[in-house]
Amino acid sequence: MSDAVQSKALRVLFVIPGLPGGSSMVFARRQAESLVAQGLAVEVFDLRSRISPRVLWTEFLRFRRMVATFRPQVIHAHYGTMTAMFAVLASGKLPLMITYRGSDLNPLPSARRLRPAAGRLLSQLAALRASRIVCVSPQLRDRLWWGRDRATVLPSGVDANVFKPASQRDMRLRLGWHEQDRIVLFNAGGEGHNKRLDLAQAATGEAQRWEPALRLEVLDGKVPPDIIPAMMNAADCLLVTSDAEGSPTVVQEALATNLPIVSVDVGDIAERLQGVACSRIARRDAEALGRALVDVVTPPRRSDGRSRVPEFSSQRIAWELSQLYRDIARPSAAVQGI
């Protein structure tokens, strides 16, 4: 985008938790790219700590400098908890949008410590200041204490040009996976407790009683993002066993690649899988999940999930977000009052 065109584009500053690079919050970074393709000017502020007061103060000063330079018309915080509260405190009078994604509002049965509860409280308090709110599922919107009238349900979105069907045999050759294996993909990310890796392993053990060639391939958050589409095309099934979810992007990615899915009833997954072939919602126990895995991978076949892509394509989500931004954006003099 040329400097002249960018100067006229609506300017949005993303606030994303974590360090730049890697697979952390990659869906939010891809959303920024989709918005740029729609003609918006988007910069990303990576919030490098959510717990250290010293680092948070340094980040506050760095954020203010970025605002003064970029002159955003909208601030968009891509998570609740301290990320959203940081944006509330640092954004001054600028319009603020917050996207809630799951564990920032959902209580987690597997995490009974004080810190997650404090994070959810910060999420709810931050919603009071938000000009607009995005929740990735209707269930998540229902958890808001206030601001539901300002909340829009939008998933993160998936680039269908990146996540698309490809030859399973070719992708297995690329990854070095054996052709005879029955591979179940599981996204543990950085939330092993909430994602319930223990239940996924138990379900796989049950399934191996009927299908010995079945094995679990775990995405632990360290896999390069550009390898994920190949892994989805090479695998036989995606397994989801989480205690709580919003609208998992990994499920949308699996649908876009026609990868069959076995999941517990969590978040909006049951709605996403309604009418999709070769996919199952199973009870939250190892035996039921194991039987569902065997049913889906024997014989191995693909789903027809790609037909659902129009519901969550990155282009559609970017267009919807751009309309929301325009509804709340300040004029070019937006930095006044910072």
Gap between the Cα atoms of 70 and 8, Å rounded: 13
Overall fold of domain 3-157+313-328: Rossmann fold (3.40.50)
Q: Within 13 Å, how many C-alpha atoms sit on residue 215's CB side?
A: 8
Contact 273, 279 (CB under 8 A): yes
Q: Which fold has domain 168-311?
A: Rossmann fold (3.40.50)
Q: Which of 30, 109, 32 is nearest to 74 (CA)?
A: 32
Q: Where are the domains of the chain?
A: 3-157+313-328, 168-311
Three-point CA angle 286, 288, 290, nearest 5°:
65
Which of 180, 206, 197 minimizes the C-alpha distance to 243? 197
CB 30, CB 314: distance < 8 Å: yes
Instruction: For residue 237, report the phi and psi dihedrals to the nearest 5 degrees.
Output: -165, 150
Q: How far apart (Å, rounded) are the C-alpha atoms in residues 287 and 158?
A: 32
* Chain centre to alpha carbon of residue 11: 23
8-state DSSP, 34: H
What length does the chain have? Answer: 338
- Write the DSSP assignment of 271-330 as a string of letters: HHHTT-TT-EE--SSHHHHHHHHHHHHSS-----GGGGGGGTBHHHHHHHHHHHHHHH--
* Fold match flag (3-157+313-328 vs 168-311): yes
pLDDT digit of tens for each residue in the chain (338 aa)? 444 444 579 999 999 998 887 667 888 999 999 999 999 999 999 999 888 999 999 999 999 999 999 999 999 999 999 999 999 999 999 999 999 998 899 987 655 567 788 999 999 999 999 999 999 999 999 999 999 999 999 999 999 999 999 999 999 999 999 999 999 999 987 665 789 999 999 999 999 999 999 999 999 878 888 999 999 999 999 999 999 899 999 999 999 999 999 999 999 999 999 999 999 999 999 999 999 999 999 999 999 999 999 999 999 999 999 999 999 997 654 444 44
- For 270, the enclosing helix (H) or strand (E) is helix 269-273
The pTM score is: 0.88
